[in-house]
Amino acid sequence: MNVNEIKHDGLKKWLADFISLTTPDAVIVADGSSAQYDELIDAQVASGLATRLNPEKKPGSVLYLSDPSDVARVEKRTYISSITEEAAGPTNNWMDPAVLKKEMTELYRGCMKGRTMYVIPFSMGPIGSPISKIGVELTDSAYVVCNMMIMTRVGEKVLEQLGTDGYFVPCYHSVGKPLAEGESDNGIWPCAPMDKKYISHFPETREIWSYGSGYGGNALLGKKCLALRIASVLARDEGWLAEHMLILKITSPEGKSRFVTGAFPSACGKTNLAMLVPTIPGWKVETVGDDIAWMKYGSDGQLYAINPEAGFFGVAPGTSDESNHNALVAASSNTIFTNVALTEDNDVWWEGIGYDAPGKLIDWNGNEWIQNKADKSQKPAAHPNARFTAPAKQCPSIASEWEDPRGVPISAILFGGRRPKTIPLVHRSHDWNHGVFLGSIVGSEVTAAALDVKAGTIRRDPFAMLPFCGYNMGDYFQHWLDVGHAAPDQDKLPKIFYVNWFRKTAEGKWLWPGYGENSRVLKWVFESCEGTAKSVDTPIGIMPTIDAIDRPEGVTEEDMKELLAVDIDGWLNEVADIRANHYPKFGKHLPGELATFLDTLESNLKAAK
């Protein structure tokens, strides 16, 4: 399909204007076909930008190594450019949209000279679903096109759904490195200097402008940019939820199934939980989505969710057969790897894969690397935020409902983060509004997925949406309260839980084994939704009794008491931190109801002391 065949007048004009600004040498419409995908991959392998992997070990797969400055989300260069700074809120970077658009327009001017512009029509969610949205990304990166073909539904069927006047989210992207006459990339990952990178969102006009980065979340504009930052604004205005959440299906030995969503910051076990292999006999967990959930009320008054993505953009380091067998299988073929290490027989390796490096490797910087366990200062062979982009349909745990256009009915919502102390293994809110309070105070250790925040520190990450909310987060809290109030049937609202797989002893040892053993917590969540769970009311919410959760091997009764204890002093410190450093950020935008919940929590804790 060529550009002249596009029937949508608004899309044609928008495209023509950007072609005139960026002056590409050619324009190609992404049709979503395997033939076009293979052609693009072949060209990148020929140029040296990609390495084809061993067809016996990773058929249909390739490896890319990025520029060292372009390895993760760049939060300091990510903007919510609403008309006013107050509308963006205190947790977002803001720039006046007129100023930002003027600056970025000049950066775009002529930036695709010597390159091809690709037009990517894509659907977030099953094409035609009442919960789905359409976007169109213009990019000069074939790497982006190939990733988007895995991560979203791309091609002519999307344009057919769009019709002649349908709504789409316009997405501009360029790697920001125009080529001189006769110049080629020569296998070098193109990107702009850090001070020229921009990942910009314009909430009022629903636009995404990205420049200077080729990395996933900055360049695959269907992912965090549309699916969360712009979609959260659409959700606010249209009365639904766009969330940084996995979706899983859990089935009991009796054959009853429930669907659960969960919000966790990056590298806090979200993908592992979505693809979990249960350790409890008779229980089954299946995957609907590993990262994003869009939720709307159905005609029956229940909240339904779709996974708007079609693939997994997972963190490779730490992914092993033990931690996530299903992810390894999903990424065993037809997968794009970024910034992992290359073995001598053209397979991939990373830290935490479950076995030692097999001889001499090429590390993510392109240098020879030999594992030396005795050298504690040895730099990793794979970047800590190295990724795999794999088709969701290849996941052996994928649920049959994962592409149901109606979505799946949600029974429970989990919030969680990486916390070594204070937060218990699991507790449940008393009701929806109390659950919104729990979501608003989530904190987690920072990970390598955020390039410019120091790893290992604790930061509040409400709803795991801190880097992804497209407007004032205080208003976002209110939107969650409003969605609860608007429920057609309050009894059908999902129950809300707060979980923490990452508790440690004073000596730094894990109290809970995690991974597949988390199915034991999911069983209690399931039973809570059924009304059969053994529970006790506490100052922080509803918790399991000591014998309510089946103990894994190696976890003692004393461990369970520690995991399920209410740390009064620790929680009072939480209250003090929230009161002094977290809630004041939101000023008049903080819902008064949440401040009341904080007062009640403090009162309950003091009464129990």
pLDDT digits over 23-62, tens only?
Answer: 999 999 999 999 999 999 999 999 999 999 999 999 999 9
Percent of residues, the chain, with pLDDT higher than 70? 98
Average pLDDT of the chain to the nearest whole number = 95
Say whether 258 counts as a known binding-site residue.
no
Would you give the DSSP letter of residue 586? G
Lowest mean pLDDT among 179-183, 464-468, 504-508, 513-517: 179-183
Q: Shortest CA distance to 90 belongs to which of 480, 476, 482, 449?
A: 476
Angle, helices 432-440/592-608, rounded to nearest 10 degrees:
90
Backbone φ, ψ for residue 171 (5° rounding): -130, 115
Residue 270 assigned ligand-binding role = yes
Phi, psi of 418 (to 5 degrees): -95, 95
360 is in an annotated binding site: no
Statement: residue 457 has pLDDT above 80: no
Contact (CB, 8 A) for 246 and 261: yes
- Which of 171, 191, 268, 469 is an active site residue? 268
In angstroms, the CA 595 to CA 251 distance is 37
Render pLDDT for 549-573 as a digit per residue (tens, 0 to 9). Answer: 999 999 999 999 999 999 999 999 9
Q: What average pLDDT does range 57-76 have in this prediction? A: 95
**pLDDT confidence tier of residue 2, bands split at 50, 70 and 90:** confident
d(CA 364, CA 339): 5
- 178 falls in which pLDDT band (50, 70, 90)? confident
Report d(CA 30, CA 390) in Å as an integer: 19
Task: Output the pLDDT for position 330.
Answer: 98
Contact between 461 and 75 under an 8 Å Cβ cutoff? The reply is no
* Residue linked to tokens 């693809």: 275
pLDDT band at 447 (very low <50, low <70, confident <90, very high): low
Q: How far apart are CA 350 and CA 342, in angstroms?
A: 9
Does 42 carry a binding-site annotation?
A: no
Confidence of residue 266 (pLDDT cuts 50, 70, 90): confident
Number of helical (H) and strand (E) elements in the chain, helices listed first: 16, 30
Does 269 appear as a known binding residue?
A: yes
469 is catalytic: no
Question: pLDDT tens, 141-161?
Answer: 999 999 999 999 999 999 999
Q: Where are the beta strands (DSSP E) in 502-603?
A: 535-538, 541-544
pLDDT tens track for 342-364: 999 999 999 999 999 999 999 99
Domains of the chain: 3-30+77-238 (3.40.449.10), 242-307+402-608 (3.90.228.20)
Of 475, 434, 157, nearest to 310 by C-alpha is 157
267 is in an annotated binding site: yes
How far is Cα 152 from Cα 161, in angstroms, rounded to an integer?
A: 15
Cβ-count burial 402-412 (b if 16+ within 10 Å, e if not) = bbeeebbbbbb
Residue 56 CB contacts under 8 Å (≥ 6 apart), including other chains: none
